[in-house]
Amino acid sequence: MTTTLKSRLQADLTAAIKARDELRSSTLRLTITAITKEEVAGESARELSDAEVEKIVAREAKKRREAAEAFEKGGRAAQAEREKAEGEVLAEYLPKPLTDDELNALVAEAVREAAAGGAEGPRAMGAVMKIVNPKIAGRAEGGRVAAAVKRQLAGG
């Protein structure tokens, strides 16, 4: 049985090929390849869960963002646009990113939870991250989360 996210990616790839949508089909093809590679890595082949597939899609989207930034810095606007467009295709398969307000609310809750457990001040960073990361699950980048945690720990 294939995961629902993986089968959606494959169905969308077929549709993109039929529609002759080169950007979408090549982006999805590369992402599905990354998923398949992950499935056969290790001792034995296995099916990935939707959460694992989502992590791979997020990783691929992050690669596109970083490549777009690198191309922009190098003055290669056409390649940067292509990478951004591919990133936008992949974003459709990811949960909606958290707004700053949503992120700050989750972090504040985690800080209170950590404080209740005895972890306070800047040294509580690890405890807070451990509490907040599962709640965020791919809806905000790690650096953004860490910065929000640091801000709240410094202020609180």
Greater confidence (13 vs 51) lies with 13
DSSP letter at 47 equals: P
Q: What is the pTM of this model?
A: 0.70
Instruction: Output 48 or 25, whichever has higher pLDDT.
Output: 25
Q: Encode burial over 58-96: b for 16+ CB neighbours within 10 A, e otherwise.
A: bebbebbbebbeebeeeeeeeebebbbebbebbbebbee
Question: Does 147 have pLDDT greater than 90?
Answer: no
Number of helical H runs and strand E runs in the chain = 7, 0
Neighbouring residues of 153: CB distance < 8 A, sequence distance ≥ 6: 111, 121, 122, 124, 125, 128
pLDDT for the residue numbered 124? 78
What pLDDT, on the 0 to 100 scale, is given for residue 79?
A: 94
Asked if 48 contacts 6 with a C-beta cutoff of 8 angstroms, the reply is yes
pLDDT for the residue 2: 53
pLDDT digits (tens, 9 = 90+) for 51-99: 888 888 988 998 999 999 999 999 999 999 999 999 999 989 988 888 8
What domains, with CATH codes, occur in the chain? Answer: 4-92 (1.10.1510.10), 100-154 (1.10.10.410)
In the chain, the percentage of residues whose pLDDT exceeds 90 is 41
Contact 152, 111 (CB under 8 A): yes
Chain-centroid distance of CA 21 in Å reads 24
